[in-house]
Amino acid sequence: QKEVEQDPGPLSVPEGAIVSLNCTYSNSAFQYFMWYRQYSRKGPELLMFTYSSGNKEDGRFTAQVDKSSKYISLFIRDSQPSDSATYLCAMGLGGSNYKLTFGKGTLLTVNP
């Protein structure tokens, strides 16, 4: 079992839809949780960063962390064609062993 599992999709939705992206993990020591967006031939771009259970909102994006279930989600409201990209979840241990473990990424297409 991989430390971080993410459904690779692809996921195709109409413009304006609510998108839900999810990851599960097995290492209960993970303390930091991130979502990155990666456009084709570009590097990953940080969307959300959190280190606690609960919800964090930033504009149309909401990140949700449930440490008891080892499950994180990213919700995109009112999705736009410009949201079409690969979304990567990433998780990190704390302290001196801080580094990120990534999911495989979910390819999202928002159709106008």
Partner 1 sequence: EAGVVQSPRYKIIEKKQPVAFWCNPISGHNTLYWYLQNLGQGPELLIRYENEEAVDDSQLPKDRFSAERLKGVDSTLKIQPAELGDSAVYLCASSRGQNSPLHFGNGTRLTVT
Binding residues (CB under 8 A) for partner 1: these are 4, 6, 8, 31-32, 34, 36, 41-46, 49, 51, 88, 90, 92, 94-100, 102-105
> Closest distance between partner 1 and the C-beta of residue 112, in Å?
25
- Please provide residue 81's backbone torsions phi and psi, each rounded to the nearest 5 degrees: -55, -30
> Closest distance between partner 1 and the C-beta of residue 49, in Å?
4
DSSP per residue over 40-87, as a string?
TTS--EEEEEE-SSEEEEETTEEEEEETTTTEEEEEESS--GGG-EEE
Residues 6+ apart with CB under 8 A from 91: 3, 4, 23, 25, 27, 30, 32, 33, 34, 72, 100, 101
> Closest distance between partner 1 and the C-beta of residue 70, in Å?
17
> Closest distance between partner 1 and the C-beta of residue 6, in Å?
8
